[in-house]
Amino acid sequence: EADIYQTPRYLVIGTGKKITLECSQTMGHDKMYWYQQDPGMELHLIHYSYGVNSTEKGDLSSESTVSRIRTEHFPLTLESARPSHTSQYLCASSPRALGTGELFFGEGSRLTVL
């Protein structure tokens, strides 16, 4: 089993609240990613990091922000949540360049904004 953890697993909050989704991995992977997935839809990359102090936006525009102060930790923050942010957020890491295609995913954080 991969050692990558996300909290909270489920979150229901009201509009306008600030939220942080936590992601930690104990595998020492340099590369970490955040994906967004709606039911029955494909995963979309919203943020990635290739190491400490490195963060980039992904393919899908997102109002969220990320930080990478420690190798093992890659939190995602929404300053003011809206119903359109309701989705599943999946954190992943990989030990090397993506050529191997292997990502280790956390169990996901399912966010509902009322």
Partner 1 sequence: RKEVEQDPGPFNVPEGATVAFNCTYSNSASQSFFWYRQDCRKEPKLLMSVYSSGNEDGRFTAQLNRASQYISLLIRDSKLSDSATYLCVVIQRDYGNNRLAFGKGNQVVVIP
Residues of the shown chain interacting with partner 1 in the complex, contacts defined by CB under 8 A: 40-45, 59, 90, 97-103, 105-108
Q: Which is nearer to partner 1, 14 or 40 (CB)?
A: 40
Residue 113, judged by CB atoms within 10 A of its CB (0-12, 13-18, 19+), counts as buried
Q: Which is nearer to partner 1, 32 or 103 (CB)?
A: 103
Q: Please choose, from the candidates 92, 95, 87, the residue with its C-alpha nearest in 3D space to the C-alpha of residue 106.
A: 92
CB of 90 to partner 1, least distance (A): 6
Radius of gyration of the chain (CA): 13
Q: Which is nearer to partner 1, 18 or 41 (CB)?
A: 41
CB of 67 to partner 1, least distance (A): 21
* Cβ neighbours, 10 Å, residue 11: 16
- Give the separation between CA 35 and CA 92, rounded to whole angstroms: 8
CB of 1 to partner 1, least distance (A): 10
